[in-house]
Amino acid sequence: MTISVEVNFSNKEDLVSLENLQRKNLENIDRLKEPYEDESEDNSLWYNWPENEGKKLASELEGISSRLPYYYDLVVVVGIGGSYTGTKTIHDLFGASLEIRNQEPQKKPILFCGYHLSESYLQKQLKILDQYKPVICVVSKSGKTLEPNAIYSVLSTHLKKRFSHEEILERTFFVSSKKESPFLKELSPNKSRFFSIPDGIVGRFSVLSAASLVPLALAGHNIKALMRGADDFFKKLEAKEEHTLKSLIYAPARFLAWKEGKSVELLAYEEPQLEGLGLWWQQLFAESEGKQEKAIFPIGSLFSRDLHSIGQYIQEGSKSIFETFLLTSGVRSEGNFESESRIRIPTDEFARELLGKASGHYLDDLNEKIMKASRKAHSLREVPNCTLQIGVLNESTLGFLIAFFQTSCVLGSFLLEVNPYNQPGVEAYKKELLHLLS
Ligand code: PA5
């Protein structure tokens, strides 16, 4: 597996700065394995996690569904932030949809609750829940987060219409670092439905830990392939493999863009199923880097959709944007041997009249051309950009990409001289809320 990274800054001086920054960046690689300087806790456990713990955990969790003494056809994930975006990333790409029944018998759909407190939306979700026999996975590293705890209490009360208290507990899994919690008291004495997130892995770095692996295993995902891809990235990094080292130019490129006054990084992707990854990527970089009034603001964007809205701003608005194009050669779950069916624009007279030269193209090929065209148009306007190319996106190349982004994020934080593992700013609204509640 590889990831190709191509950086495009228009002026020559930038290229020299980038080379210097990359030298410094590569010197920082050994720091990835260490706790951040002012941290008492070692938060670097995410590094080389597949080899140290992840692969073992994935093997243990594989086939979990067949060991349960009851039938279920839905996984409800109750979590927020890093306790849900990782699962959503994989589910969006390879998961069974809630709308289409019986599409992939080996996979169960996932319903995400706990990341919002909207009554009207939850009403709709409860109606969906009523049509299924669910398992519920409460994921909260701290075990204290208001949103998931509030939603679980609503869900478990709602389920009492159909299940006994014991059955609800049987169907509840708790994934946390917390050693003591009302959840654990409830689940006891059967602690087999408790899974631990290590203290040394913060939420946004927890995607390869039990935080995502438990719900994904329950939903029947290929978590071993995910882990294999991430492991491959770390192995290549450890071996200082040339192509992998080159790809790390992404961190200095983002840093340079910010230094030069770009305040927004737009991650442009052409695949609607990458919305989850966009959210996860945004959280990873925003929460890790955005401190001490530093760092570029990350935001995901779906092309073509957004070319018809913010495309105008990118082309002619304030010159504040650094663009990162995430290119894939399609999405295909590993082990899916069904012959690939492709969709092509027809070539009949009507289509030719309606679409001119676009007729006859496969949609993915057209999409690729649209990405190329927008990169060219935006570069003419001196929007610096970067292209990440990952090939076919399956569970293992996604694991590789996740490890690449995590690594780039921590390396970027080193260049910014901020601690990637804390989030003091998130506490501010919680304090205000406590005032309002009292
Ligand atoms: O990255 C982080 O640490 C946060 O975004 C957390 O994931 C988020 O606040 C949820 O916290 P918890 O898992 O403790 O409920």
Domain ranges of the chain: 4-38+226-426, 64-219
Q: What is the mean pLDDT of residues 277-285?
A: 98
**CATH code for 64-219?**
3.40.50.10490
pLDDT at 434 over 90: no
Weakest-pLDDT range from 180-194, 221-235, 263-277, 423-437: 180-194
Q: What is the mean pLDDT of residues 116-129?
A: 97
80, 146, 205, best to mutate for ligand 1 pocket (most atoms within 8 Å of CB): 80
Rg (alpha carbons) of the chain, rounded to whole number: 23
pLDDT at 148 over 70: yes
CB 165 within 8 A of CB 187: no
- 287 in catalytic set: yes
pLDDT at 160 over 80: yes
Can you tell me the distance from the alpha carbon of 340 to that of 380, in angstroms, rounded to the nearest whole number? 37
Q: What is the mean pLDDT of residues 371-398?
A: 92
Q: What is the mean pLDDT of residues 400-425?
A: 96
Q: What is the mean pLDDT of residues 154-158?
A: 96
Please report the atom of ligand 1 found closest to the CA of residue 142. 14
pLDDT greater at residue 364 or residue 185: 364
Can you tell me the distance from the alpha carbon of 211 to that of 369, in angstroms, rounded to the nearest whole number? 37
pLDDT at 102: 62
- 334 in catalytic set: no
39, 83, 406, 422, best to mutate for ligand 1 pocket (most atoms within 8 Å of CB): 83
Please report the atom of ligand 1 found closest to the CA of residue 426. 9
Q: What is the mean pLDDT of residues 286-290?
A: 98
Catalytic member of 271, 287, 323, 395: 287
C-alpha 113 to ligand 1 mean position (Å): 15
Q: Is the sign of the CA dihedral 391, 397, 402, 406 positive or negative? A: negative
Q: What is the mean pLDDT of residues 320-344?
A: 87
pLDDT at 190: 67
Q: In the structure, what pLDDT confidence band is assigned to residue 101 with cuts at 50, 70 and 90? A: low
C-alpha 203 to ligand 1 mean position (Å): 5
- Mean of all residue pLDDT scores within the chain: 93
85, 112, 138, 142, best to mutate for ligand 1 pocket (most atoms within 8 Å of CB): 142
Catalytic member of 124, 382, 430, 432: 430
Q: What is the mean pLDDT of residues 282-301?
A: 98
C-alpha 136 to ligand 1 mean position (Å): 18
Please give the single-letter amino acid code of residue 23.
R
Please report the atom of ligand 1 found closest to the CA of residue 177. 14
Q: What is the mean pLDDT of residues 13-31?
A: 93
Residues 170-216: pLDDT tens digits? 999 999 998 888 877 877 766 678 999 999 999 999 999 999 999 99
Atom 3 in ligand 1: residue holding the nearest Cα: 203
pLDDT at 7: 95
Maximum Cα interatomic distance, the chain, rounded to a whole number of Å = 70
Intrachain domains 4-38+226-426 and 64-219 with the same fold: yes
The DSSP-derived string for 103-141 is S-TT--BEEEESS---HHHHHHHHHHHTTS-EEEEEE-S
Q: Per the structure block, which two tokens stand in for 244? A: 């992998």
pLDDT at 103: 64
Q: What is the mean pLDDT of residues 245-251?
A: 98
Query: Nearest 10 degrees: CA dihedral of 250, 254, 256, 257?
Result: 130
CB 243 within 8 A of CB 275: no
C-alpha 286 to ligand 1 mean position (Å): 13
Q: What is the mean pLDDT of residues 314-342?
A: 87
Can you tell me the distance from the alpha carbon of 365 to that of 438, in angstroms, rounded to the nearest whole number? 57
- 357 in catalytic set: no
C-alpha 379 to ligand 1 mean position (Å): 37
pLDDT at 338: 65
**CATH code for 4-38+226-426?**
3.40.50.10490
Weakest-pLDDT range from 188-192, 318-322, 399-403: 188-192
Can you tell me the distance from the alpha carbon of 336 to that of 325, in angstroms, rounded to the nearest whole number? 27
pLDDT at 42 over 90: no
Can you tell me the distance from the alpha carbon of 152 to that of 83, in angstroms, rounded to the nearest whole number? 14
145, 146, 282, best to mutate for ligand 1 pocket (most atoms within 8 Å of CB): 145
Q: Is the sign of the CA dihedral 255, 93, 130, 181 positive or negative? A: negative
Which protein residues are within 6 Å of ligand 1, measured from CB? 80-83, 140-142, 145, 148, 202-204, 287, 423
Please report the atom of ligand 1 found closest to the CA of residue 287. 1
C-alpha 202 to ligand 1 mean position (Å): 7
Catalytic member of 185, 308, 357, 431: 308
C-alpha 162 to ligand 1 mean position (Å): 31
Please report the atom of ligand 1 found closest to the CA of residue 197. 13
Atom 2 in ligand 1: residue holding the nearest Cα: 203
C-alpha 81 to ligand 1 mean position (Å): 5
CA distances from 399 to 66, 189, 227, 260, 343 (A): 25, 35, 6, 32, 27
Cα 60 to chain centroid, rounded? 23
Please report the atom of ligand 1 found closest to the CA of residue 205. 1
Which residue's entry shows tokens 């996932």? Answer: 110
Q: Which candidate, 430, 397, 414, 361, places its Cα nearest to that of 226?
A: 397
Atom 9 in ligand 1: residue holding the nearest Cα: 81
Please report the atom of ligand 1 found closest to the CA of residue 148. 15
pLDDT at 129: 97
C-alpha 19 to ligand 1 mean position (Å): 35
